[in-house]
Structure 1
Amino acid sequence: MCDNSELQGTTASSHNGFVRPLLTDYYLFTMAYAYWKSGKNETAVFEMFIRKNPFHGEFTIFAGLEECLNFVANFRFSDSDIAYLKETLPAGTEPEFFDFLRGLTANEVSIDAPPEGSVLFPKVPMMRVEGPLIVAQLMETTLLTLVNYASLMATNAARYRIAAGKNITLLEFGLRRAQGPDGGLSASRYAYMGGFDGTSNVLAGKLFHIPTRGTHGHAYITSFYDLGEVKNRLLAHHETGEPHDLLQLSVDWRLKLSESVLRVPAAEASDGELAAWITYAAAFPTGFMALVDTYDVRKSGLLNFCAVAMALHELGYRAVGVRIDSGDLAYLSNICRRVFGAIAEKYEVPWFADLVIVASNNINEETIVSLNEQGHSINCFGVGTHLVTCQRQPALGAVYKMVEIQGRPCIKLSEDFPKTTMPGKKNVYRLYGTDGHALVDLLQRSVEAPPCIGEKVLCRHPFQEAKRAHVIPSRVKPLLEPCWSKGALVAPLPSLEKVRAHVEASLKSVRNDHKRNLNPTPYKVSVSADLYSFIHKLWLQNAPIGELL
C-alpha cells in the first residue's frame, strides 16, 4: 500500500499500487490481440450498470468513482508488464502488439458518471466509458473491481445507518474480519462514505482522514489479577493539579455503590478488573471507556466501572461510558442506563445519566432492527464482520456492456429479460415530484432533447408494453456528468466528507418506502418512447425467426 494522494487540479494518483492495467482478466488481452490483429479499434461506448439492487433492497449507493479515475489517469503498461505479457500470451503473438500496448493511454477516453455517493437503481448507467475499443475493453474488469465492492459496501453501510437512525453513532470495527488488507481499507473508506461515524482501522484513518475510535480488549483486563498490580495509584486533580489516591477512591466508591445503588456484594466484583480500569483511567482520565462483560456485567463490570467513574468525578474528570460485547444487549444496556440514572440522581451528577453505551456483539442490520423493536439504551454500535464482509450478499454484480461501436448500436439478447442490454449511447434523467422526492429515472437516446420541467413526459417500461405512465416533473436532474476527458479530470474530485454528505442528501431525495428494510417499494426506471421503439426495432432485427416444422 502507498500513501493516498489528494486529487486536485487535472491529475490523479492512486493510493493503491496494485490497481494497474494487469489487474484484469486474461481473456481481455486475448480479445485485445484479436481486435488489434483484425484492425478493429473504432470508438466504442460501454455502460456499467446493475441488474438488481443488493440485500433484497431497492437502492444502491454508487461508490468507487474516485479510484476508477485514479486508475484511468495512470493507465499505462510498464516495461515489466510488457515483459510479463510476452511470457504469458500464446506463442506466436506478434511483437508489434506489445509495442502497441506500450503506447496505450486513456487520453482518448471520456468517462461520464453520476456524482460518487448518488443513489442509483438497476439499468441506470453507473458509468459511461467512450473511447478506442481496445482501451475501453481492457479497462472492463478493473473498473468493475473498483466499483462492485465499493458500491456494495457503501450501500450496506447506508442500510445500517437507516436501521440505526440518525442519532446513533456507528463505528466500523471490521479490519480483522475483512478479506485481506485492501478489503479492510476499502471497507473502512466506504463504510464512512455510507454513513458510519468512525473506524478502528488506524491506517484508514491516516489515509482517508476518518475519525478513529477504540477502547481496550478483554486481554487488557485479564492481564491484571488483583489490586496489588496497580503500581501508580496517584492521579492529579483536573483543576488543582493536586495528586490523589485513585485506587483508594475507587475502592471506597465500589463499596458505597454496591450498598446504595447496585445492591450487589462488592466482594463478588473482580479485583483484577478494577485494577485494570484504575490503570486505564490513570492513563486516559478524560477518555475512560470500559469493556464491562469480561466476567459479569451486573455483578462485576458495571459496579467496577461506576466506582472508577465516580472516583474520576471526584478528581474533576468525566468518564465516557461502557462497551458491551456479549449477552442480551437490550437487557444489559437498559440495566446500565437505569444504574447510571440512579447514580446521577442520588449523587447529583446529572451527566452520569447520559454516559455512552456501546454494543459490539456480532451486530448486523437485523440485530439493530430487533433491538429497536425490543427497546434499548444503546448510543453506539460497533459493527464488524457482517458489515465489511457483506454477509447478506457477498457481491454486487455490476456489469460492463458495449452498447455502441462507431455510432452503430449494439444489443445483447437474452430469454432472461434483465440480461437484455439496452442499445445505444444514452442519457439518464431523474424526475422529481412536487414533494421533492424522486419519482422515476428516465433513460433516453443521447440524441433526444432532455425532458422539461412542467411538461408531460411519457415513461415506458423497457420491455413490457402495457406498463407506461405520464409524469409532469417539478424538477429534472441529469445523472451522468463528465468526469474524464482528453487525458484529464474535468473537475477536481470532492473530498470524502463531501461525498459522505452527498450520500445523505441523495438518500433524503428518495421516499422512505423505497428504503425500508422489509418489502420496500420498487423504484421505477423507465425509457422514453423513442428509446422504447429503438430497443424493440433492434430486437426484432437481431432476434432469429423460428421455424415450425
Structure 2
Amino acid sequence: MRYSPLITDLYELTMLAGYHEQGMHERPAVFDLFFRHNPFKGGYAVFAGLEPALSYLEDLSFSEEELAYLDSLKLFRPSFLDYLAGFQFKGRVIAPGEGTVVFGTEPLVTIEGGLAEAQFVETALLNIINFQTLVATKAARIKQAAGDATVLEFGLRRAQGPDGGLSEARAAYVGGVCSTSNVLAGMRYGIPVRGTHAHSWIMAFPDELTAFRRYADNFPDSCILLIDTYDTLGSGLPNALTVARELRERGHELVGVRIDSGDLAYLSRQVRSAFDAAGFPAVKIVASNELDEFVIESIRSEGGQVDIYGVGTRLATCAGEGGGALGGVYKLVKIDGEAKLKITSDLAKSTLPDRKRVLRAVAPDGSFIQDVIALHDEEVLPGAQVFDPANPIQQKRIPREARLIELRGTVMVNGRRCAPSPTLQSCAELSNSELKRLPEGCLRLVNPHLYKVSISPGVNTLRLKLMSQIQSRYGE
C-alpha cells in the first residue's frame, strides 16, 4: 500500500522549501523519534509500526498529480517543485524490531540523512509509529489480563476509518491478539479471521431455535451461537444445547457460544456448568461487550469461565486513562556534525543530544534489569554509574553481573531495507517473549513497577555542556 507524500503537515513542506532556498537541504542531520511517558500509565510499551514506516520511506516520491496540487497552492517556487519531482528518501534508519518492549525517553527510531529528507518524514512516521505502538501496547495489556484465554479483535466498526481499522488490526496482532474479524486485514497481513453472527440473524427468523439451526446447517464445523438475544439462561442456553446435540448426531461439534451482555462472570459460569454437565466440555465460551483489560481482570477475579474475549471499541480506540494517543515526538539531535539540544524549564522535557545507542542490561536468568541511553561511540560496561535523565543527581550502577545488549540496529541504508521484512507472527512472538522478561510488577495494570531508563556519563556530560552554552547565549 503506497502512502502519499502529502500525508504530512504543511509546515514540513514549507520548511523543506526554506531549506532548499537556503541551500541547506543536503546538510547531514539526525532526528530521534521517541515518547516521554508510557501509555495508559502503564509499565511499558510495545513497539509497532516499523514495517509500514519502512514501506513509506522506500516508496516516498511525488506523483505528477501531487505536484500539480502543490503548485495550485501558490506557495512554492517552480525550482522547489522541480526538486520535489526527484525527491526520495536515501537515508539511514536505526530502530528496534517490532514487538520489542520499549520505554519512555529512549530513542525508538533514528533517522539519519540530508536535512530535507530527514525533516520531511516526521509527520508520517509519527502517525504510523504512534498509533500502532499505542494499539500494540493496549492489546498486550488486554492479553495479559486475559491470562490463558485468547483474545479476538473486532474493532473495525469503531476504528478511526478504514485505514485506521487495518492499522489497528495489524498492531493488535503484534501486541498479542490471536485473530481478527477484519477480513481485509486477514488477507493483507495473514492474520487468522474469526467471527460469529449478530443479533439480527436471530431476529430475522421466526424464533431463536430456528435461527440457531439454520446457522448450524450453514456452518456445521465452525458454529458459534450468540445466545443473549432474548434470555441468555432461559432461552439461549437451552436452545444452544439442543443444537449442540443435533450437530453431534450428524457427526459435527458445536464450537462455542457467545455472550454479549449481562453479568459476564456469572453467566459464563452458568453456561460452562451446563455444557459440561451435558457432555460438551470442549464448547468454548466467548465474551464480548465493551471489554478492556480492567473488565477482563474483573471477570477472571470473579471466577468467570471465558475461553475467548472479543474486544472491539476499547481496543480500536485505545480507550482508558492515559490512552487515546501516544505522545511521540520527533526531534533534531545533530546537524553538520554538531550535537543539538532543545531545552525547557522542565529538565525531563529536554532532549538528549547527538547520535545514541540504547543498551539493555540483562540478568543471568535472561530477565531485563534496566536500559541505558549512551552516545553512539561511547563504551559502557557493567558496573558503570548511570544517571536519571530527569534528575541527574539520582545515580545508579549497572549490576556487574549484567550482560549489555544493543536494543536497536540499522534497518535501512540508502533508503532501502537491510533485510527481508519479518513475519507478523515473529513480531508477535517477540512481544510475547519480551513481556515475560520484564521485572515483576511491570505488567500490573495499576501502579506498575517503573522500569529504569538511565543515561550514560557521556550523554549526561554533553547535555549539561550544551545547556550551559545555550543559557549563556540566550541569557537564561
The TM-score with structure 2 as length reference comes to: 0.96
* Paired AA for residue 403 in structure 1: V
Q: SS where residue 512 of structure 1 aligns?
A: coil
Aligned to 2:316: 388
Secondary structure in 2 aligned to 1:430?
strand
Q: Is structure 2 residue 352 aligned with structure 1 residue 422?
A: yes
Q: Give, in angstroms, the shift of residue 119 of structure 1.
A: 0.6
**Letter aligned with residue 391 of structure 2:** Q
Paired with 2:142 and 2:389, the residues of 1 have a C-alpha distance of 32
Deviations 1:43-78 (CA, angstroms, capped at 9, x unpaired): 000000001110010211111110111011111111
The separation in 1 between residues aligned to 2:220 and 2:29, in whole angstroms, is: 62
For 1:117-266, what aligned pairs fall within 5 Å after superposition?
Answer: 117-165=99-147, 167-225=148-206
In structure 2, distance between residues paired with 1:473 and 1:53: 28
Are the equivalent residues in 1 in contact too, given 2:347–2:391 (CA < 8 A)?
A: no
Runs of 4+ in structure 1 deviating by more than 6 angstroms, as ranges, are 545-548
Q: How far apart are the structure 1 equivalents of 2:420 and 2:169?
A: 23
Map of 1:87 onto structure 2: 72
Report the residue type matching 1:106 in the other structure: F
Q: CA deviation at 1:528?
A: 1.1
1:61 counterpart = 2:46 = yes
Change (3 A) 1:315 1:45: same
Aligned equivalents of 1:433, 1:337: Cα separation in 2: 42
Gaps of 5+ in 1: 1-14, 226-271, 345-351
Structure having the higher Rg: 1
TM-superposition CA deviations, 1:154-191 (whole Å, max 9, x none): 000000011111x2010011111111101111111111
Partner Cα separation in structure 2 for residue 106 and residue 316 of structure 1: 59
Secondary structure at the counterpart of residue 382 of structure 1:
strand
Match of 1:99 among 57, 72, 82: 82
Deviations 1:140-163 (A, max 9, x none): 101111101010000000000111
Instruction: Extract unaligned runs of 5+ from structure 2.
Output: none
| Cα shift readout 1:430-473 (whole Å, capped 9, x = no counterpart) | 11123321111111111212x34xx4221111242321111125
Q: Does 1:435 align with 2:375?
A: no
For 1:290, the equivalent position in structure 2 comes to 225
1:3-35 deviation per Cα after TM superposition (whole angstroms, max 9, x unaligned): xxxxxxxxxxxx2x3x12111000111111111
For the 8 Å contact 2:62–2:84, the answer to whether it is kept is yes
Q: Post-superposition shift, 1:339? A: 1.0
Report the AA paired with residue 409 of structure 1. Answer: A
Q: Report the number of matched residues.
A: 472
Mapped to 1, the partners of 2:460 and 2:268 lie a distance apart of 56
Contact kept, 8 Å, 2:34 with 2:106, in 1: the verdict is yes
CA contact (8 A) 1:21 1:138 kept: no
Deviations 1:351-386 (CA, angstroms, capped at 9, x unpaired): x12311000111111100111111111111101000
Where does residue 467 of structure 1 map in the other structure? 394
Tell me how far 1:487 sits from its aligned partner: 3.1
Asked whether 1:405 is paired with 2:335, we answer yes
Select the residue among 444, 447, 459 that pairs with 2:377: 447
Q: Is this contact kept in 2: 1:273–1:304, CA < 8 A? A: yes
Contact 2:95 / 2:410 at 8 angstroms: preserved in 1? yes
Q: Is the 8 A contact 2:158 2:316 kept in 1?
A: yes
CA distance in 1, matches of 2:387, 2:188: 45
Conserved? CA contact 2:198–2:226, under 8 Å: yes
**What CA deviation, in whole Å up to 9, does each residue of 1:63-118 have, x standing for no partner?**
1110111011111111222211112142xx432111112122112x1111011111
TM (norm. structure 1) is 0.84
Q: Secondary structure at the match of 1:427?
A: strand
2:266 maps to 1:331: yes
8 Å contact kept, 2:98–2:174: no
1:205: Cα distance to partner? 0.7
Percent of aligned positions that are identical: 41
Residue deviations 1:500-524 (CA, integer Å, cap 9, x gap): 1111112122123112111101111
Q: Does 1:457 align with 2:384?
A: yes
| In structure 2, C-alpha distance between the alignment counterparts of 1:490 and 1:515, rounded to whole Å | 33
Q: Does 1:49 align with 2:31?
A: no
Seen in structure 2, the aligned counterparts of structure 1 residues 218 and 463 have a Cα distance that, compared at 3 Å, is: closer
Deviations 1:243-279 (A, max 9, x none): xxxxxxxxxxxxxxxxxxxxxxxxxxxxx11111111
Q: Distance in 2 between matches of 1:377 and 1:318?
A: 20
Contact 2:439 2:451 in 1 (8 A): no
2:283 to 318, 333, 355: 355
Following superposition of structure 1 onto structure 2, how do residues 271-286 of structure 1 map, counting pairs within 5 Å? Answer: 272-286=207-221
Contact 1:413 1:543 in 2 (8 A): no
CA separation of 1:174 and 1:461: change in aligned 2, threshold 3 A? same
How big is the alpha-carbon RMSD for the aligned residues of Structure 1 and Structure 2? 1.5
User: Could you tell me which amino acid in structure 2 is paired with residue 163 of structure 1?
Assistant: A
Deviates more, 1:77-86 or 1:405-414: 77-86
On the 8 A contact 2:170/2:185 being kept in 1, the answer is yes
